[in-house]
Amino acid sequence: MQTAFLFDGKPCSRKIFFAISILGHITEAEKEGVTVRIRSTLMSIGAAVIVLAACSTGDEPAPGEPEGTEGTAQDSRDVSVQLYQAPTSFNPLIASIGPNHLISQLHWDGLVSVGPDNEYESRLAESWSVSEDGMTWTFDLRDDVTWSDGEPFTADDVLFSFELYADPASGSANAGKFASVDGAAAFADGEADSIAGFTAPDDHTFVVSLTEPNSAFLIDLIQPILFILPEHVVGEFPVEELTDHQFFREPTVGLGPYVFQRWVTDDQIEFHPNPQYRNELHLDRVFAQFLTTDVAMAQLETGEIDYAQVAAADATRVEQIDGVTLHRDEGPGVMALHTAHDSGKLADVRVRQAILHAIDRDSLVDEVLNGEGKVVDTLIHGPDWAMPDDLTHYDYDPARAQALLDEAGWDSETPVRLEVTPGQADRDTIVTIVAGQLQAVGIDATVAEMESSVMAERIGERDFDLLISGYGMFNIDPAAMDARVKCNQIGGSNLSGYCNEELDELLEQGIATADQDERQQIYAEAQRIMNEEVPIILLYSPNNLAGTSAQLQGFETAGSVSNHFWNAADWSVGG
């Protein structure tokens, strides 16, 4: 009986893994959906094998482990970290997905990032200043930075990178952020070869001149981080070919602490220390690998992996594992459902409100997340002054939901898909429950599982009904919400394609105003609109939970889960 061999024990599990890796390899060339299912199958088999290994105290290394690494060996200076989805590229220009952002934090570097206290953290920019009128931002760059190939890092690299980010032709998903930069319009129209507002007066100074004041310019640089690219390499490539350029799959030059070495498998990457890094590094190799929550938890326990995100339901258990540290902080982001507003399926605001009333968000947080999060009614949850206290709370009220649907004339035959990329245990459970609760009020909701690359396609085609996604750092400045709802961010971070001119105007005022009291008024009004219109269906703000083994020392959380590798340069091995 073929099924029996799965559970035969260790010698067999090896062969199976071998056999299935070959299969995975064969199908790699085929269409994406297939690799996905094969991959998730591998994951599941991996889980079964690991669970068995954990139960039988096997001491041979698990098959998934890279050659020659012993996760538990005391003298090894290797660290393995989990990625919660499969990484695809080191290209910072294209729309950012969590795993790509994480591997980019190892390989690239940016001007600023967010630090542990939810404040801006100096990186390549040693310091920065803004002119009194809020129209000129000046960045003083470090002078001790060198690319991994020995070329010096200068303001020209920054200038080059920012021009790429502002140029839609490069495939940039962030071009909308630079609409207010002096000369951006002329550049977009083809009247100018470069953007006048970006200048590099000397090798270590970078200046941005704006046409309108923007007191919150920095927030646009950190979510996602606009990583700096090497002009001496990327400058050689045609701008139009950058999106799919092989260089971003296998970059040969880096600026971060650990630079790309090779793809060990389709979803595992090996990093080596950057020989030119400005500080002393303490690790020999870093392996980053996509693992589903269940597999990652099992591997954290057996010591095969040194960092993993922790599912809320597993938090209590992880705290009790010897040698594993649980890192917990209030998450700055949100978990939310997004509909393609341009598809028109959920165009009636009453339908979106009904969806909120149909979901028992309090129980989701208290029970399913074991209290590791909070229900939110607005994207922004910090700083305190930016949060209005008169927002409508959409409580769990199925009767009200049904009434709203009836009012809106909702046809219960209309199929509504809940798009999700599986692998994160909490989210997988949540979508099952949400689908069930929507069905209970007469919305024909079904869960549609898809791999991140398929998801990206659907987003491009504007073909999604209720896509679940978690993101954001909404506790630094209320302007953080701009990227998610402004009209000129459609195609970039404004996933749902929402556009409301009244809201846009308020958000413009918000960044143009320096006075905090005035800003408070503006953002309160903006959030009232969001609260009423429900452009994004907010579920909750989850706590950030991560587990690290005794092998990995110096790990610290800051910002969102896709920012967890911000201080990789400080990592070392314990024991």
Partner 1 sequence: MTVVQEVTPSATQQPEMAVPPGRLAVRRFMRHRLAVVGLVVLVLMGLATLVLPLIVTTDPNAVDPTAFRRPPSSEHPLGTDSAGRDVLARLIAGGQISLLVGLIAAFGATVIGMTLGAVAGYFGGWVDATISRLTDVVLSFPTLIVVIIVVAFVGPSLTTLVLAIALFDWPTACRVVRGLTMSLRAQDSITGVIGLGAGPLRILRKHVVPTVVAPLTVVATILVAQAIMLEAALSFLGLGVPPPSASWGNMLNEAQSLSILESMPWLWLPPGLAIALTVLAVNFVGDGLRDAVDPRTTR
User: Could you list the residues that contact partner 1 (CB under 8 A)?
Assistant: 1-6, 19-20, 23, 27, 30, 33-34, 37-38, 40-41, 44-45, 47-48, 51, 54, 293-295, 297-298, 301, 311, 313-314, 317, 360, 363-364, 367-368, 422, 425, 429, 432-433, 435-437, 440, 447
Q: Which of 21, 209 has the CB closer to partner 1?
A: 21
Helices marked H in 513-551: 516-533
Q: Which of 41, 412 has the CB closer to partner 1?
A: 41
The minimum distance between CB 360 and partner 1, in angstroms, equals 5
DSSP states along 484-513: HH-GGGBTTTBTT----HHHHHHHHHHHH-
Helix (H, G, I), strand (E, B) or coil at 421: coil
Radius of gyration of the chain (CA): 24
Residue that has been written with the tokens 């970078």 in this structure: 206
Q: Which of 221, 297 has the CB closer to partner 1?
A: 297
The minimum distance between CB 393 and partner 1, in angstroms, equals 17
Strands 572-573, 136-141: pairing is unpaired
Which residues, at least 6 apart from 274, have a Cβ–Cβ distance to it below 8 Å? 148, 254, 255, 256, 257, 258, 259, 281
Strands 268-273, 205-209: pairing is unpaired
The minimum distance between CB 345 and partner 1, in angstroms, equals 21
The minimum distance between CB 46 and partner 1, in angstroms, equals 9
Which residues, at least 6 apart from 479, have a Cβ–Cβ distance to it below 8 Å? 215, 216, 219, 507, 510, 511
Q: Which of 127, 316 has the CB closer to partner 1?
A: 316
Nearest-CA neighbor of 90 among 78, 111, 106, 66? 106
Q: Which of 82, 293 has the CB closer to partner 1?
A: 293
CA distance 358 to 573: 48
Q: Which of 360, 482 has the CB closer to partner 1?
A: 360
CA distance 550 to 518: 48
CA dist 119 → 142, 475, 556 (Å): 19, 9, 14
Q: Which of 492, 547 has the CB closer to partner 1?
A: 547
Q: Name the β-bridge partners of 152.
A: 146
Q: Which of 20, 179 has the CB closer to partner 1?
A: 20
CA distance 575 to 553: 9
Cα-based torsion angle of the residue sequence 460, 465, 468, 473 in order, rounded to the nearest 10 degrees? 60
CA dist 533 → 341, 342, 487, 505 (Å): 12, 15, 15, 16
The minimum distance between CB 437 and partner 1, in angstroms, equals 6
The minimum distance between CB 558 and partner 1, in angstroms, equals 27
The minimum distance between CB 25 and partner 1, in angstroms, equals 12
Per-position b or e across 87-103, b if 16+ CB within 10 A of its CB: bbbbbbbbbbbbbbbbb
The minimum distance between CB 29 and partner 1, in angstroms, equals 13
Q: Which of 155, 420 has the CB closer to partner 1?
A: 420
Q: Which of 94, 295 has the CB closer to partner 1?
A: 295
The minimum distance between CB 115 and partner 1, in angstroms, equals 32
Strands (E), 324-473: 325-329, 334-338, 373-374, 415-420, 444-449, 466-471
Q: Which of 81, 297 has the CB closer to partner 1?
A: 297
What does the DSSP 8-state code read for residue 241? G
Residue 66: what residue type? P
CA 117 to chain centre: 19
Element (H, E) at 400: helix 398-407
The minimum distance between CB 56 and partner 1, in angstroms, equals 13
Q: Which of 47, 102 has the CB closer to partner 1?
A: 47
Q: Which of 253, 358 has the CB closer to partner 1?
A: 358
The minimum distance between CB 13 and partner 1, in angstroms, equals 14
The minimum distance between CB 71 and partner 1, in angstroms, equals 17
What does the DSSP 8-state code read for residue 386? G
Cβ atoms of 139 and 201 within 8 Å: the answer is no
Q: Which of 35, 489 has the CB closer to partner 1?
A: 35
The minimum distance between CB 14 and partner 1, in angstroms, equals 15
The minimum distance between CB 333 and partner 1, in angstroms, equals 21
Backbone angles phi, psi at 209, to 5 degrees: -110, 130
CA distance 374 to 360: 13
